[in-house]
Amino acid sequence: MPPLALTLGEPAGIGPDLTLQAWAQRFALKLPPFLTIGDPGVFQGRARALGLDVAVEPATPDSAAAMFPHALPVLATGHPVTAAPGRPDASSAPAARAAIEAAVALVRAGRARAVVTNPIAKSVMYQAGFAFPGHTEFLAALAADGGPAPGKPPRAVMMIWSAVLAVVPVTIHIPLAEVPRRLTRDLIVETATITARDLAARFGIARPRLAIAGLNPHAGEAGTLGREDEDIVRPAVAALRAAGIDARGPLPADTLFHPAARATYDVVLGMYHDQVLAPAKALAFDTAVNVTLGLPFVRTSPDHGTAFELAGTGHASPSSLIAALRLAHRLATPSP
């Protein structure tokens, strides 16, 4: 069976630590084999810093699974890394980018089963000319290149998934001040449609129940606390229902996340990033996984970022990365 492809991420962050820690628990946790993509020297150096006895071996997609029990298989991209733990350096951004590109190429060629990404530092990538808000949009562009519809990237949707809560931000990495202007009926409908489709096709939820949060306090209080909920969100929900999708809203976001409310839906669509990522991380920081919907391949990632202050200290928890590896394995495994 081909391995999962796990990217380097930001080399000055905790990604290398988590990768080594996850591999060290491969037997205890019965982890699926993964091929790490990046500079092998980063993983050798971080293993020394952490006092972990990990053999780091050059590997290919074909050799990774057999090697995985006794060594961390690493596919070198040839991009050197200069950043030290906790001290990001934009000159390493090409290595982070190359690992993502290589992982996608392997999955698209059938040589890896899914892409699992370690966190990147967006500001560091931007300094190096990275023109995408994050992985989500970059992966959509990579999915289009040479694919069935070259030049027309699929719409990629971010979902933070855990056993207790799944959330989707309709707008993602944009300034809060821009949210009302960028929020449209069509954007909500498209995001919800992709979410419903992938929850059914990939997560096995036959008829997903979507709770659509309002933008304003009390979902706009009948238009008296902002018009967006009446003028944009409500028509979007009506269009979704007309299309046969089980959507409800606009719902006041402040009362959407208590246990009784959570029992009434499979996923919440929020209008902006922190509206839904904050409750998701409050409830399940250690186990939540970032899953990209709408792509022609499976991609997962931990729910957290680079945590520079923890890099090389041994205090970072690998649990979200482990959950991401497990979910990627599950989603990439055809159901019997």
Ligand X SMILES: NC(=O)C1=CN([C@@H]2O[C@H](COP(=O)(O)OP(=O)(O)OC[C@H]3O[C@@H](n4cnc5c(N)ncnc54)[C@H](O)[C@@H]3O)[C@@H](O)[C@H]2O)C=CC1
Ligand Y SMILES: NCC(=O)COP(=O)(O)O
Q: Is 221 in the site for ligand X (CB under 6 A)?
A: no
Is 262 marked within a binding site? no
Q: Is 121 in the site for ligand X (CB under 6 A)?
A: yes
Which does residue 136 touch among ligand X, ligand Y, none (CB within 5 to 8 A, set by kind)? Answer: ligand Y
Is 315 marked within a binding site? no
Rg (the chain; Cα; Å): 20
- Least Å distance between CB 236 and ligand X? 27
Which residue in the set 77, 136, 216, 306 belongs to the binding site for ligand Y (CB under 6 A)?
136
What are the residues whose beta carbons fall under 8 Å from the beta carbon of 83, sequence distance 6 or more? 10, 11, 12, 89, 91, 92
Element (H, E) at 43: helix 40-50
What is the contact mask toward ligand X in residues 125 to 164, using x (rule: CB under 6 A)?
Answer: ----------x-----------------------------
Q: Is 310 in the site for ligand X (CB under 6 A)?
A: yes
Is 136 marked within a binding site? yes
Looking up tokens 């992985």, which residue turns up?
135
Provide the token pair at 221. Answer: 């209080």
Options 50-58, 131-139, 206-214, 325-333: segment touching ligand Y (CB under 6 A): 131-139
Which residue in the set 36, 193, 287, 301 belongs to the binding site for ligand X (CB under 6 A)?
301
Paired sense of beta strands 267-270 and 246-251, if any: unpaired
**Length, in residues, of the chain:** 336
What's the rounded Cα separation, in Å, for the pair 270 and 212?
Answer: 6
CB–CB of 256/213 below 8 Å? Answer: yes
* Closer Cβ to ligand X, 231 or 309, answer by number: 309
Phi-psi region of 269 (alpha: psi -120 to 50; beta: other; left: phi over 0): beta
- Least Å distance between CB 235 and ligand Y? 28
Is 281 marked within a binding site? yes
Which residue in the set 87, 217, 309, 314 belongs to the binding site for ligand X (CB under 6 A)?
309
Element (H, E) at 250: strand 246-251
Options 93-101, 134-142, 189-197, 239-247: segment touching ligand Y (CB under 6 A): 134-142
Provide the token pair at 289. Answer: 């996984």
Which residue in the set 290, 293, 297, 312 belongs to the binding site for ligand X (CB under 6 A)?
290
The three-state secondary structure class of 208 is coil
What is the contact mask toward ligand Y in residues 267 to 286, using x (rule: CB under 6 A)?
Answer: ----------x---------
Is 299 marked within a binding site? yes
CB–CB of 161/288 below 8 Å? Answer: yes
What's the rounded Cα separation, in Å, for the pair 241 and 217?
Answer: 24
- Least Å distance between CB 51 and ligand Y? 30
What's the rounded Cα separation, in Å, for the pair 203 and 288?
Answer: 15
Q: Give the count of alpha carbons within 13 A of 183, CB side only.
A: 29
Known binding positions for a divalent metal cation? 173, 218, 273
Q: Give the binding site for ligand X (CB under 6 A).
A: 14, 119-123, 135, 290, 301, 304-307, 309-310, 316-317, 320
Give the residue numbers of the binding site for substrate: 135-136, 281, 290, 299
Q: Footprint of ligand Y on this chain (CB under 6 A)? A: 134-136, 277, 290, 301
